[in-house]
Every structure is written in structure tokens, then in C-alpha cells.
Amino acid sequence: MKDFYKPSNIKSTKEDVVKVYASQEEASQYTANRIAAIVKEKQAKGENAIMGLATGSTPKGVYQELIRLHKYEGLSFRNMITFNLDEYYPMMPIEEQSYVSFMKSNLFDHIDIVKGNIHIPDGTLSIEGIQEYCELYEQKIADFGGLDIQLLGIGRTGHIGFNEPGSGDLSKTRLVTLNDLTREDASADFGGKEKVPTQAITMGIKTITDAKEVILLALSKRKAEIIQKAIEGVVSAEVPATFLQKLQNIEYILDEEAASLLRKG
Ligand code: PGA
């Protein structure tokens, strides 16, 4: 790790709220180890680890490292219960772009997670059923005692999950409309922006910030501008990730490129 500091506007007592790593691999490895540590700690107590997971290009290296820990270091995930942040709407699970497909190919198919322990918002619901489903998603998280850790990426709009600009800090799991920039960023996956769904089901800001620990992972130069706003900017629904500044239990894990516009502390 090259550098760390505590921006003065982050209300945390921890010295290491922002960790900057020299490479994407090191940042991913640190994040995977944090997740693995919770899984092991809970195993030792005979408890489940309740994990909030993310999709996108950012966490891929984290999942690769978790798979490696499973395959070569004997780490079991049988006590892991997962809740994914979001899913496009509408979306069939079998479609290549679904977050169900993403999670299977990038993690779940390669570890010993119990299939019944996986929760990903359902993109196949009828519009009328969505609200009740979202309330149930929240209830399930609560029934497990809440999320032990929530892993997040960040979108260039400042979204966490699919909480786009305008999302309030009390928002819960719900149907949302995707921001134009978000759809543009997803266009390569769908073969054109017009094919990207306009809506999604996402955990809310409150669902995320209620987690016992939160990790926001951001890698590459593409994220430098939004990371500067998220960490050093004014807390506002205009950049939903700024709501994380209020947390005591937040870690921003960055590579040097994503951190490059931060004021040096
Ligand atoms: P990305 O997406 O990891 O593909 O950049 C992050 C996000 O939109 O949360």
C-alpha cells in the first residue's frame, strides 16, 4: 500500500478510511481478504456470514481471488449468505447481461456456496409485484441480522448500487430509472445503448448504509473524478456515494489511478 490518509470531512475515527494501492491486483486482493476474514471469523463461531455483493468490472478481481482462496487454500463458503445490490429490470436470469449470469460465471459457479443462500433481485416480476418483493428483500436481510459487509463499486454518476443522482439517504430496495450515463457505460455489454434496460431494482442507500461494514472499491483513471467528488465533495443526493462519508465503518479501497485527483493528506 503506497499511501493513506483521512480526509478531514470523513466522520470516521479510523485512520485508514482511504487506502490507496499501487495496482488493481493489490486493491482487489486486500478486498478479498477482508471478505474472507469475515467468512472465516463467522465459521469459527458457527455462524453465517451475510454478504452484500456487487457486479460490474470492478469486483471481478476480488471474486477471482475468492475463487483462488477456495480452490487452493481450502476456504469454504458454505456459511455465506449473499444479497446482491441490484438487477436490471426487466431481465431474465438466463440472459448473458443479467446479474444472475454475472454472479454465476464470476463467482458462484466456482465456489461451494449453497444455492439457496443466494439472493439477487428478480428482474422477471410483474410491475405490480415489485413493491412487495422489494419489501420482502429488505425483510430477508433483516431476518438474517443485517449485512455483515457490503461491497460496492461506484458509477460515474456517483451511483452505488443503482442509486442514481437524486436518491435519498433513506431510500430502500425499489424500482429505479437508470441515468443516461449509466446506460451509456453499459452499452458495450448490451450491443448498443438502446438495448440497455431503462430500469433496475436496487437496494437503497439506507439498505447499504445499514450494513455493519461497507467497502467501496474503485479502480482506474475512469473513476478518479467521481471518487474525488464522493470522498471530498459535499454530502448530497446529487452524488449518492457521498452519503457514505457519514459512516464510521466505511473503507474506500482505491488504486493509484482512481485516487489521482484526491487532495494529498
Ligand atoms: P463498473 O461499474 O465496476 O463496471 O465500473 C461500477 C458501478 O456502476 O457500480
58 lines ligand 1 (CB under 6 A): yes
Taking residues 43-59, what's their average pLDDT? 98
Could you identify the atom of ligand 1 that is nearest to the CA of residue 55?
Answer: 3
Report the separation in Å between the CA atom of 45 and the middle of ligand 1, taken as the mean of its atom positions.
Answer: 34
What is the pTM (predicted TM-score) of this model?
A: 0.94
1 pLDDT above the threshold of 70 = no
50 lines ligand 1 (CB under 6 A): no
Catalytic (active-site) positions? 164
What are the distances in angstroms from CA 123 to CA 13, 41, 113, 150, 180?
39, 33, 22, 21, 20
Count of Cβ atoms closer than 10 Å to residue 232 Cβ? 17
106 pLDDT above the threshold of 80 = yes
Q: Whose CA is nearest to atom 2 of ligand 1?
A: 56
Give the pLDDT confidence score for residue 222 in this predicted structure.
97
Could you identify the atom of ligand 1 that is nearest to the CA of residue 222?
Answer: 5
2 pLDDT above the threshold of 70 = no
Taking residues 199-207, what's their average pLDDT? 98
Mean pLDDT of the chain: 95
Report the separation in Å between the CA atom of 67 and the middle of ligand 1, taken as the mean of its atom positions.
Answer: 20
Report the separation in Å between the CA atom of 58 and the middle of ligand 1, taken as the mean of its atom positions.
Answer: 6
Give the pLDDT confidence score for residue 16 in this predicted structure.
75
Lookup result for grid cell 429490470: 89
Helix (H) or strand (E) holding 64: helix 60-73
Share of the chain above pLDDT 70, in %: 94
Taking residues 137-149, what's their average pLDDT? 98
Tell me the three state secondary structure of residue 147.
coil
pLDDT tens, residue by residue, 156-166: 999 999 999 99
57 lines ligand 1 (CB under 6 A): yes
Residue 59 C-alpha cell reads as 469486483
Write down all domains in the chain, each with its CATH number in brackets. Answer: 19-257 (3.40.50.1360)
pLDDT tens, residue by residue, 223-247: 999 999 999 999 999 999 999 999 9
Paired strand residues for 160: 163
161 lines ligand 1 (CB under 6 A): no
Report the residue count for the chain.
265
Lookup result for grid cell 441515468: 179
Q: How far apart are CA 178 and CA 107, in angstroms?
A: 25
45 pLDDT above the threshold of 60 = yes
Residue 105 C-alpha cell reads as 460465471
Taking residues 94-98, what's their average pLDDT? 98
